[in-house]
Amino acid sequence: MLTQLPTDVVAFGASARDRFTALGGVELALRAESDPAARVTAGDALAELGAWDIDVRSDADEFLAAAELCRAAGAVVLPYPLVEQLLSVDGNRLALVDARHPWIDHGDLEGGWLASDLDGSARMAVTAPRRAAKLGPFVTRAELAAETVTVALEDVDRHLVLGSWRLLGGVSAALVLATEHIKVRKQFGQALAEFQAVRFAVADAVVAHRGLEELAKYTTWRLATATLAARHADAIALRLHADDVATQVLRCCHQLLGAIGFCDEHGVSVLDRHMQALLRLPHSAEALADRLVPAVSAGELESLFVSA
């Protein structure tokens, strides 16, 4: 498998990162908590980049472009439902929810919402005003209509994968900020980066990040090559792993930063708070693992070990 992304896709991702940086990076997300115009700015920037011209259902290269865009957006926790709008169905943003407890990130934005569970059973959603909480500041409660429609399972898988690319971007950004901190922060007369325990912690986090990146690329490739059942198992496995890696890396970054990592003057705090919705919706890591067990038993999740 060739893991290097096409040149034009890499260039598109770089353009997106430059555009989001020009908007202020994570500061735009922080500003959006109190200023509704900030999310309008984020949506306008995506339109300028041609995000809504990407057909994620057409071919592999289009989907890769969407994945790189999601990674760039994740690195600044762009305050806009990018994945949901990329996968719109009949003009309604597609959200993945737990039908028993439906919550939608950015659900208060204008426009229709179609809420689907991981099996593709979907209903139109009416969302309440956002709660403005510190963790997941744009999450809104949703009420689901009685009438059920079916969403293609392929779209559910695309949603899970693109969300994982957003998490990958957030993990990358948190690692950069933490490593910059330990290079300049000194204790006992030397930089934190000189301490062996710190180096070990950073090495573990970097290995986890690189593993997630490779799995994201592999799963993206599998979407176009594997059977439907195997694709669904792969997508759930990727999202489960992305949740696990993001939790591990954010914990490591907070340990390296100390108290400053919990203050919004530092970007890691903003990244962590705004990533919580994606880490917890539509299901927790534990619930995703439970869903993956039947797929393993049925042989839908491939591994190095071929079952007899």
For 131-158, what is each residue's pLDDT tens digit?
878 888 999 999 999 999 999 999 999 9
Instruction: Identify whether residues 140 and 243 lie together within a single domain.
Output: no
Does residue 306 belong to any structural domain of this protein? no
Split into its structural domains, the chain has a count of 3
Instruction: Identify whether residues 78 and 178 lie together within a single domain.
Output: no
Instruction: Identify whether residues 135 and 261 lie together within a single domain.
Output: no
- What SS3 class is residue 295? helix
Is residue 271 within 8 A of residue 173, CB to CB? The reply is yes
Does residue 1 belong to any structural domain of this protein? no
Q: Read off the pLDDT of residues 202-219 as tens digits, 9 standing for 90 and up.
A: 899 999 999 999 999 999
Task: Point out the domain boundary residue: 43, 63, 86.
Answer: 86
- What SS3 class is residue 186? strand
DSSP calls for 104-163:
EETTTSSS-EEEE-TTSEEEEEEEPPP---SSSTTEEEEEE-S--EE--HHHHHHHHHHH
Angle among Cα 153, 92, 53 to the nearest 5 degrees reads 85
Beta strands in the chain (DSSP E): 93-96, 103-105, 113-116, 121-127, 139-144, 149-150, 186-187, 190-191
Residue 110 confidence (pLDDT) above 50: yes
Residue 144 pairs with which residues in a beta bridge? 125
Q: Read off the pLDDT of residues 67-87 as tens digits, 9 standing for 90 and up.
A: 999 999 999 999 999 999 999
Does residue 303 belong to any structural domain of this protein? no
Quick one: average pLDDT of 239-250? Answer: 95
Task: Point out the domain boundary residue: 86, 119, 138.
Answer: 86
Task: Point out the domain boundary residue: 86, 111, 140.
Answer: 86
Does residue 28 belong to any structural domain of this protein? yes
Model confidence at 304, in pLDDT bands (50, 70, 90)? low
Instruction: Identify whether residues 200 and 271 lie together within a single domain.
Output: yes
Quick one: average pLDDT of 3-21? Answer: 92
Instruction: Identify whether residues 124 and 184 lie together within a single domain.
Output: no
Instruction: Identify whether residues 199 and 243 lie together within a single domain.
Output: yes
Range of the domain at 125: 93-150
Does residue 42 belong to any structural domain of this protein? yes
pTM over 0.85: yes
Q: What is the pLDDT of residue 294?
A: 84
